[in-house]
Amino acid sequence: MKEALAALTSLLRRLLARRGPALSLAFLALVALAAIFAGLLPLDPLAQSIADSLKPPSAEAWFGTDELGRDILSRVVYGARTSLVTAFGAVLIAALVGIPVGLVAGFYGDWRDSLLMRCIDVLLALPNILFAMALIAVLGRSQGAALIAVGIAGIPGFARIARAQVMALRQLDFVMAVRSFGGGPGYIMLRTLLPNILSPLVVQAIVLASIAILLEAALAFLGVGVPPPTPSWGEMLRTGKSYLYEAPTYAVLPGLVLTLTILSFDTIGRALTAILDRDETNASGATIGGRR
Q: Which residues of this protein are in contact with another protein, per CB under 8 A?
A: 46, 48, 50, 53, 67-68, 141, 223-224, 227-229, 239, 241-246
SS3 of 160, please? helix
Within 10 angstroms of residue 255's Cβ, the number of other Cβ atoms is: 18
Amino acid letter at 23? Answer: L
Count of other CB atoms within 10 angstroms of residue 65? 27
Nearer to another protein, 75 or 170 (CB): 75
Cβ proximity to another protein: between 60 and 246 the closer is 246
Q: How far is the CB of 212 from another protein (least distance, A)?
A: 21
Question: Shortest Cβ distance from residue 58 to another protein (Å)?
Answer: 20
Judge contact between 80 and 216, C-beta under 8 A.
no
Whichever of 224 and 253 has its CB closer to another protein, that residue is 224
Backbone angle region of 184, left / alpha / beta, with phi > 0 → left and psi within -120 to 50 → alpha: beta
Q: Between residues 140 and 182, which has the closer beta carbon with respect to another protein?
A: 140
The least distance separating another protein from the CB of residue 66, rounded to whole angstroms, comes to 9
Minimum distance of another protein from residue 154's CB (angstroms) = 25
Q: Smallest distance, Å, CB 161 to another protein?
A: 35
Contact between 236 and 251 under an 8 Å Cβ cutoff? The reply is: yes
Q: Which is nearer to another protein, 144 or 229 (CB)?
A: 229
Q: What 3-state class would DSSP assign to 227? A: coil
- Residues 185 and 164 sit within 8 Å (Cβ to Cβ): no
Q: Cβ distance 72 to 63 under 8 Å?
A: yes
Report the alpha-carbon angle 205-96-162, nearest 5. 65
Identity of the residue, 141 or 292, whose beta carbon is nearer to another protein in the bound complex = 141
Compute the distance between CA of residue 150 and CA of residue 227 in angstroms, rounded to an integer.
16
> What is the smallest separation between the CB atom of 127 and another protein, expressed in angstroms?
19
Question: Are 26 and 12 spatial neighbours (Cβ–Cβ below 8 Å)?
Answer: no
Rounded distance, CA 159 to CA 151, Å? 13
| CB nearer to another protein: pick between 142 and 273 | 142
- The minimum distance between CB 129 and another protein, in angstroms, equals 15
